[in-house]
């Protein structure tokens, strides 16, 4: 359902023009606001900070009491807003409707063919690959905001976060969970709640990673496809899957049909292989096999995901700013497989740092720490006899840490941004942090 259809329906239900509010003004709500301005005169934007890009003439309420005195009939919530906040509960009891652009999108698909992707890691990449395989569009967390698809009637692949899925059980042609590892425990009340949210994407046409321990606990009757680098076809089918994507003698297969040799994949890292398997499983039967092969051999990955972004004087700089959990940073270190000077830090998610221990001991030559998690990470390093021997520094500002980490760089060394924490605080997003890193190192170390 489009926002236009929804607001017209609500106007008819209420017998008057609805009062509409927006909690948060990120990309999704801003796109909604642009549409709502054409249909509704009473609009309110509520933010914990001053909404600098709010259009003129719209009532804005911001600061500590931004949720006080809710008098709107409808509130569109940014994905990161929990609905059990007391002020929102009071508003619902009064008759206010809480919803989001994502919920409207899935309420009535119309002629569109929808695919859903979630997971702790890899979901953006799988969404982008699948959209390309299907010759469709990517919608949601990456790609086009939901509100901007009003006139689109084709195939759409949408990336769904645990925030989205906490309040939604989307109806899709097929869905996939790439993997599940501890994440967002500063928002979810428990790991069980996080897993439950992810599981809301599952339906009769679901795809899961059999290499993920938590995903295996979700396998039940009706699982469409399992994919794995570790298990054989017979082992996957033995787990009640109808179909299997697997690796045999360096070749990726779907139910015995040869897809691609690993040597032909553009990204042959462990995560790269799993992402291709997930996208293949999600789109099989809807996408042409030659298109699947073409994407697998040509897709080099998204920005800020362990990408070589600069070289100077024999020093290589890698940006993996998207690594916002210790587990993901550990995977990046292992996948890169080189000794590095690494930057850690930012704002934490209440996750254990334990997954970092072994990879840092094995791969870190120098550790730079910054941000709100600086003291906690530094204490983690100092209390381990192996980690404490690795030279490290800690500053609150990212730029100070980067400058100290880069002192005395020698030919052949590698600098890696893989923070294990969110970018919030000093930066707007992981992309903002990654772009700052790229711009700064290119300025500090011009190509020779």
**pLDDT confidence of residue 1:** 82
Residues 135 and 277 in one domain: yes
Q: Is 167 in the same domain as 277?
A: yes
Q: What is the mean pLDDT of residues 229-235?
A: 95
pLDDT at 404: 97
pLDDT of 448 reads 66
Residue 221: what pLDDT?
63
Q: Is 270 a residue whose pLDDT tops 90?
A: no
Q: Which domain holds residue 245?
A: 108-298
Q: Are residues 59 and 113 in the same domain?
A: no
Instruction: Report pLDDT for 237.
Output: 92
The pLDDT of residue 268: 86
Strand 174-177 and strand 155-159: the pairing is: unpaired
Which of 78, 99, 120 delimits the end of a domain?
Answer: 99
Residue with tokens 């789109």: 283
One domain for residues 195 and 119 = yes
Q: Do residues 73 and 157 share a domain? A: no
Q: What is the CATH number of the domain that holds 48?
A: 3.40.50.720
∠ CA 17-20-22, nearest 5°, is: 165
Strand ranges (E), 112-261: 113-118, 137-140, 155-159, 174-177, 206-209, 223-228, 243-248, 251-254, 257-261
123 and 270 housed in the same domain: yes
- Judge if 284 and 335 occupy the same domain: no
Task: Report the pLDDT value the prediction gives residue 446, as an integer from 0 to 100.
Answer: 93
CATH of the domain at 142: 3.40.1190.10
pLDDT of residue 194: 95
Mean of pLDDT values over 281-306 = 92
Note the pLDDT of residue 222.
63
| Residues 279 and 325 occupy one common structural domain | no
Range in 105-109, 206-210, 360-364 with the lowest mean pLDDT: 105-109
Q: Across the chain, what does the average pLDDT equal?
A: 93
**Average pLDDT for residues 240-253, to the nearest whole number?**
95
Of 124, 112, 106, 110, the C-alpha closest to 168 is 106
| Of 204 and 168, the one with more pLDDT | 168
pLDDT beyond 80 at 42: yes
Structure tokens at 363: 């791969």
pLDDT of residue 150: 85
pLDDT band, residue 93 (cuts 50/70/90): very high
Q: 116 is written with which tokens?
A: 């859903």
Q: What CATH number is associated with residue 346?
A: 3.90.190.20
Are residues 369 and 247 part of one domain? no
- The residue-averaged pLDDT of 81-102 equals 95
Q: Give the model's confidence band at 223: pLDDT under 50 very low, under 70 low, under 90 confident, else very high.
A: confident
Same domain, residue pair 373 and 397: yes
- What integer pLDDT is reported at residue 314 of this predicted model? 94
- Per-residue model confidence (pLDDT) at position 52: 77
Phi and psi dihedrals of 115, rounded to 5?
-125, 140
Measured CA to CA, the distance from residue 103 to residue 360 in angstroms comes to 41
Do 260 and 332 belong to one domain? no
Question: What integer is the mean pLDDT of 387-403?
Answer: 96
Note the pLDDT of residue 99: 96
The last residue of one of the domains, among 298, 315, 336, is 298
- Closest by Cα among 334, 307, 80, 322 to 186: 80
- Percent of the chain scored above 70 by pLDDT? 99
Is 27's pLDDT higher than 90?
no
For residue 447, what pLDDT band results from cuts at 50, 70 and 90?
A: confident
* pTM confidence score: 0.83
- The predicted pLDDT at position 26 comes to 85
Q: How confident is the model at residue 2 (pLDDT cuts 50, 70, 90)?
A: confident
Cβ-contact 157, 170 below 8 angstroms: no
CA distance 47 to 25: 7
pLDDT: which is higher, 366 or 2: 366
What's the structural domain count of the chain?
A: 3
Of 266, 298, 330, the position where a domain reaches its end is 298
- What's the mean pLDDT in 300-316? 88
Whether 87 and 231 map to the same domain: the answer is no
Residue of higher predicted confidence among 328 and 281: 281
Which residue reads 């192996």 in tokens?
386
pLDDT tens by residue, 352-389: 999 999 999 999 999 999 999 999 999 999 999 999 99
- Provide mean pLDDT across the span 46-71: 91
Q: What is the mean pLDDT of the segment spanning 286-308?
A: 91
Sheet holding 223-228, edge to edge: 137-140, 155-159, 113-118, 174-177, 206-209, 223-228, 243-248, 251-254, 257-261
pLDDT for residue 142: 84
Secondary structure element (H or E) that encloses residue 43, with its range = strand 43-47
Give per-residue pLDDT as tens, 140-196: 888 888 888 888 889 999 999 999 999 999 999 999 999 999 988 888 999 999 999
Q: CA–CA distance from 133 to each of 87, 128, 148, 175, 292 (Å)? A: 44, 9, 22, 15, 5
């Amino acid at each position: 359902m489009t926002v236009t259809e929804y607001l017209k329906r609500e106007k008819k239900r209420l017998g008057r023009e609805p009062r509409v509010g927006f909690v948060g003004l990120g990309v999704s709500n801003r796109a909604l606001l642009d549409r709502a301005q054409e249909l509704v005169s009473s609009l309110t934007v509520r933010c914990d900070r001053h909404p600098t890009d709010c259009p003129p003439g719209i009532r804005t309420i911001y600061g500590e009491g931004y949720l006080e005195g809710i008098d709107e009939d409808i509130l569109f919530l940014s994905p990161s807003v929990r609905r059990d906040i007391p002020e929102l509960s009071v508003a619902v009891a009064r008759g206010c409707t809480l919803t989001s652009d994502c919920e409207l999108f899935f309420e009535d698909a119309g002629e569109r063919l929808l695919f859903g992707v979630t997971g702790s890691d890899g979901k953006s990449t799988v969404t982008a690959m699948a959209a390309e395989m299907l010759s469709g569009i990517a919608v949601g967390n990456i790609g086009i905001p939901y509100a901007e698809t009003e006139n689109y009637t084709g195939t759409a692949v949408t990336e769904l976060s645990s925030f989205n899925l906490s309040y939604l059980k989307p109806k899709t042609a097929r869905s996939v969970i790439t993997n599940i590892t501890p994440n967002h425990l500063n928002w979810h009340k428990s790991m069980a709640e996080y897993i439950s949210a992810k599981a809301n994407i599952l339906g009769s046409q679901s795809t899961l990673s059999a290499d993920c321990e938590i995903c295996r606990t979700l396998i039940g009757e009706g699982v469409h496809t399992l994919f794995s680098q570790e298990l054989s076809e017979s082992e996957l089918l033995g787990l009640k899957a109808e179909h299997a994507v697997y690796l045999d003698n360096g070749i990726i297969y779907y139910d015995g049909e040869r897809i691609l040799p690993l040597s032909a994949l553009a990204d042959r890292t462990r995560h790269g292989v799993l992402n291709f398997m997930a996208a293949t499983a999600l789109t099989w039967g809807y996408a042409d096999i030659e298109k699947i092969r073409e994407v697998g051999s040509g897709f080099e990955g998204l920005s800020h995901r362990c990408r070589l972004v600069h070289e100077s004087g024999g020093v290589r700089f890698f940006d993996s700013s998207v690594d916002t959990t210790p587990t993901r940073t550990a995977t990046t270190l292992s996948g890169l497989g080189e000794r590095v000077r690494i930057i850690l830090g930012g704002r934490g998610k209440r996750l254990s740092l334990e997954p970092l221990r072994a990879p840092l001991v094995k791969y870190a030559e120098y550790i730079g720490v910054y941000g709100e998690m600086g003291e906690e990470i530094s204490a983690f390093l100092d209390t381990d006899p192996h980690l404490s021997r690795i030279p490290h520094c800690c500053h609150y500002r990212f730029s100070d840490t980067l400058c100290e980490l880069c002192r005395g760089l020698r030919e052949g060394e590698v600098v890696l941004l893989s923070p294990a924490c969110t970018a919030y605080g000093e930066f707007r997003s992981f992309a903002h942090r990654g772009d700052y890193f790229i711009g700064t190192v290119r300025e500090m170390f011009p190509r020779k």
